[in-house]
Structure 1
């Protein structure tokens, strides 16, 4: 894997990698002070999709999977993240109580603001069709924007892979002897650690909170980033990791507005599907092995 990731990089691709890593850090910091910077950040995230097409080929080079294998891998990765994030949230609620309480208050305040913006209809009031339509549009606009940002958040995994490639390239040049001796896994772990910490820091760049909140946020989101990084390296599939990230964020948003336990319910639904797919794959493997054994016995 490290050989594929550290293949020669063209100047154009190197510039693109620097823009979606170092450039994003700078723009994300400015987004706390400028709406234009926030718009530029969204634009970079969207454009990173096309860079991800090239990076994905490096990561998954030589790997071919069937559709059912991809589905199984997605479900297992999603369940892994749900379990890991649940444990992280439980840990943070005890270790960083200030962060946990403040974040819960932020969610409550945010959802209350959105709900407050909606008009309260009294049964005795006449219903104007135009007003009703605009009320639906306002609801779609408020929730739809959050889902849009959740989808863009998934593309942060392109940012992570770009950082990993840059760090590995630097390690390859700075430590050629260790690289040739096969100590590449340690460099991968270093890249994973650095990107996880940066993931945590990036979630606090445009916020002004107490240092207790900041530390709690960095540790919590860094651990979340570590889970995404492990999924990326385990599956060696960039788009699968992007999908897990986006869908989880969308479900978290939906839990704010509509279904409080949608993430947990989804896990309960996916678990038997995963077990069913495992049973189907095992049956197919047994059938293939039988097909191999029977001709051998006939030949004897």
Structure 2
């Protein structure tokens, strides 16, 4: 895997990698002061999809999988992330109470502010069809933008993979002897750790909070980033990790607005689906093995 990740990089690809890593760091910082910077960030995230098409080939192991296997891989990774993120949130709620309390207050205040914008007419007053239409539009506008940013958030995994490639390329140049000896796991783990810390820091670049909040946010999101990174490297599938990230963020947004336990209910629904797909996949693999054995017996 490391050989594929550190294969020669063209100048165009190098510029693209630097844009979605170091360039994004700068844009994220400026987004706290400029709406234009936030728009540029969204544009870079959209363009990173096309960069991800090239980077995915470097990560993928080349083994073809069926649709059932891809689906099972996604569900398994998603359930793993839900379990891991739940443990992280419980830990953070006790270890970093300032961050936990401030973050919950932010979510409550934000969702109340959005709902208050649509409460222009008192419940006792008759509501005209036009008013209903605009209320629905306001709701879609508020929630829809958050869902849009959640979808783009999944493309942060392209950012992570780009960083991992750049870090490994640098380490390959700095430690050529160790690299040639094949002891490269330590380099991958180092790249994963660095990207996880950067993931945590990036979630605080545009915020101005107390140092207790900042530390809690960095550690919490760094742990989340580490979990995403482990999924990325274990599945060797960039798009599965992107999808896990986006779907989780979307469900978290919906839980803020509408139903608090939608993430947990989704997990409970997916568990039996995963077991069913695993059974189907095993049966298909068994049939393929039997067919191969029969073919070999006939040939002999």
Task: Count how many residue pairs are aligned between Structure 1 and Structure 2.
Answer: 300
- 8 Å CA contact 1:228–1:245 kept in 2: the answer is yes
The two structures have a TM-score, normalised by structure 1, of 0.96
- The aligned residue for residue 194 of structure 1 is 194
2:126 is aligned with 1:126 = yes
CA RMSD after TM alignment: 1.5
Structure 1 stretch displaced more, 32-41 or 141-150:
32-41
- The aligned residue for residue 232 of structure 2 is 232
Q: Secondary structure at the match of 1:63?
A: coil
- The aligned residue for residue 48 of structure 2 is 48
Distance 1:132 1:299 in 2: 73
- The aligned residue for residue 58 of structure 1 is 58
| Structure 1: segments with no counterpart, 5+ residues | none
Distance 2:36 2:292 in 1: 63
- The aligned residue for residue 71 of structure 2 is 71
**1:130-209 map, 5 Å:** 130-209=130-209
Structure 1 residue 120: Cα displacement: 4.8
| Structure 2: segments with no counterpart, 5+ residues | none
- The aligned residue for residue 110 of structure 2 is 110
**1:235-254 map, 5 Å:** 235-254=235-254
Distance 1:13 1:256 in 2: 39
2:257 is aligned with 1:271 = no
The two structures have a TM-score, normalised by structure 2, of 0.96
Structure 1 stretch displaced more, 30-39 or 285-294:
285-294
Structure 1 stretch displaced more, 85-94 or 60-69:
60-69
Distance 1:217 1:128 in 2: 44
